[in-house]
Amino acid sequence: MAENATDHLTAYYAQIPVAHKEGLGSIRHWQQLRVAQEGDLLWIKGFTKEQIQSKEFKWIPFLQAYECRANLLFRIGHLVPERRLPASLLWNPVERLLNVTFNNWNHNYFGIGEQVPVSIIPSEKETDAFALLCNTVVAAPYIFESLKVRLDRIQWLMLEERALFLGTPVLSIPGDTFWKQGRHLIPTGYDFVYGILQEIIAKKIDAPGENWILWHTDSTYTLIPQSSVKPLSISSFRLSTI
């Protein structure tokens, strides 16, 4: 397949207001990036085409991508340049500019200088299911007919009219499945916007570390005391659901 010659002549830049620079924390591990300041704007260079198109990039608030050709900056997909690349910029590694600190946590926000929403989004990341949330009426026939060896590796608890089963292999019962990241139970097909911060998010939500954090697709969560989880057996299920 022939290569597009313009790909070799195009550099990728991005611009973000200084007031929102903390959003770059989610891509600071892209070590080739360089950052420079122009007044109240930050310029970032060194992106690959794949990084510009990635979800990590697209979900950073206030970040604008550009293609740079002959020192002219074009918004992605635009044919008319928006401006020239500023001259005499002093470029530094992205880590040097970002001083990530965490302030008082409030609901599902935590501070990185400014408030950044803690939320989950649809993701194509491949994950293995670890937990299952389903209606107890649906689960009962399967549980009562299962061999003991099939249930031995599973723990569970009641959540109102539903049962949450933890462990693998996940029971073959219709319901909502979740994958595990640390103490987070995240719906399969979803991931954090800022996945690299999952340990800090867990500490902000549950500093003692005594709970599972069950996330819902609307980015709310339920704390589940680990002490409430018990081994699954036919008798324990029957006693809890009668």
Q: In this predicted model, what pLDDT tens digit does every residue of 145-204 receive, in sequence order?
A: 888 888 989 999 988 778 999 999 999 999 999 999 999 999 999 998 877 778 888 888
Residue 15 banded pLDDT, cuts 50, 70, 90: very high
In degrees and rounded to multiples of 5, residue 229 shows phi and psi of: -80, 135
Q: CA distances (Å), 53 to each of 43, 59, 76, 140, in order?
A: 18, 11, 10, 46
Residues 6+ apart with CB under 8 A from 4: none
Mean pLDDT of 130-158: 91
Residues 6+ apart with CB under 8 A from 149: none
Q: What is the CA radius of gyration of the chain?
A: 24
Bridge partners (DSSP) listed for residue 45: 13, 34
Q: What does the DSSP 8-state code read for residue 163?
A: E
Q: Which residue has the higher pLDDT, 242 or 227?
A: 227
CATH 3.30.70 domain position(s) in the chain: 8-100
In degrees and rounded to multiples of 5, residue 8 shows phi and psi of: -80, -15
63-117 pLDDT per residue, tens: 899 999 999 999 988 899 999 998 888 888 776 665 433 333 344 444 444 445 5
**What CATH number has the domain spanning 8-100?**
3.30.70
